[in-house]
Amino acid sequence: MEPLNYNRIAGKNLGRLEALSDGVFAVAMTLLVLDLKAPTAQAIHSETDLWTALVVLSPKLLTYLMSFVTLGIFWLGQQAQFNLLERSNRDVVWVHIAFLMIVCLVPFSTALLSEFMEYRTALLAYWANIFLLGMLLLAAWKLSRHFKIEKPDLPADIDRAIYRRIAVAQCLYAFGAALCVFSPYWSVGAIVLLQVNYALALRIGKFALP
């Protein structure tokens, strides 16, 4: 009999991976709000001062909302994959851990963008964060299929649906990031519109983005 290999028994519990994912997403989403600081009482002497302070704060509020929705979208994407799996294994777990590592970078890339929104570098760093999330989620599914750990009764076109969803989303995010050639604010606006679409599953007539 072949000796038992530790790597063959590691990472089998899908529930533990889901619990870790939920915890990381919860912390990352909570950390986003720490970049929002209320105006100090010493700086506010009138309603006008307070309104002005809130206007100054609006870029940080916008990036907070953007990133909160972004994390919500990717949490749903990862959970959708978990729901399609029958079990896990060590290799797939490590890809998901790498995915969660990039999730933890979202508060940083968000703070960078909110502080330097007028700079293309900050916008591209934020887009790179989104790009890595998408690529790791895609890699996790491809590896799951490679090891045949998915549930046996999946629809025949499940791969097409997942690949198309990730590919179209990443192409649209890349297009939005490319708009920073004209202005980083155009890129931010495009990303916000994409996130609204994917969060609300908007439809135009019979057309909807995958």
Instruction: Per residue of the chain (210 residues), give pLDDT as tens.
Output: 556 565 666 667 788 899 999 999 999 999 999 888 877 777 777 887 888 777 877 888 999 999 999 999 999 999 999 999 988 888 999 999 999 999 999 999 999 999 998 999 999 999 999 999 999 999 999 999 998 988 888 888 999 999 999 999 999 999 999 999 999 999 999 999 988 888 887 654 444 555
First to last CA, the chain: 48
Specify the pTM.
0.88
Residue 86 carries which DSSP code? S
Give pLDDT, residue 201.
72
Give pLDDT, residue 150.
87
Burial class (CB in 10 A: 0-12, 13-18, 19+), 62: middle
Give pLDDT, residue 96.
95
* Cα–Cα distance, 202 to 210 (Å, whole number): 10
Q: Are 39 and 60 in contact (CB under 8 A)?
A: no
Radius of gyration, CA atoms only, the chain:
20
- Tell me the torsion sign for CA atoms 131, 23, 159, 8: positive
Q: Phi/psi at 150 (nearest 5 deg)?
A: -80, 165
Give pLDDT, residue 204.
44
Q: Phi/psi at 63 (nearest 5 deg)?
A: -70, -30
Give pLDDT, residue 116.
92
Give pLDDT, residue 4.
58
* Cα–Cα distance, 43 to 125 (Å, whole number): 32
* Cα–Cα distance, 193 to 198 (Å, whole number): 9
Provide the CA 87 distance to its chain's centre, in angstroms. Answer: 23
Q: Which of 125, 135, 148, 126 is nearest to 99 (CA)?
A: 135
Q: Which of 72, 69, 75, 77 is nearest to 210 (CA)?
A: 77
Token pair 């720490």: residue:
34
Q: Which of 135, 133, 123 is nearest to 177 (CA)?
A: 123
Domain ranges of the chain: 11-200
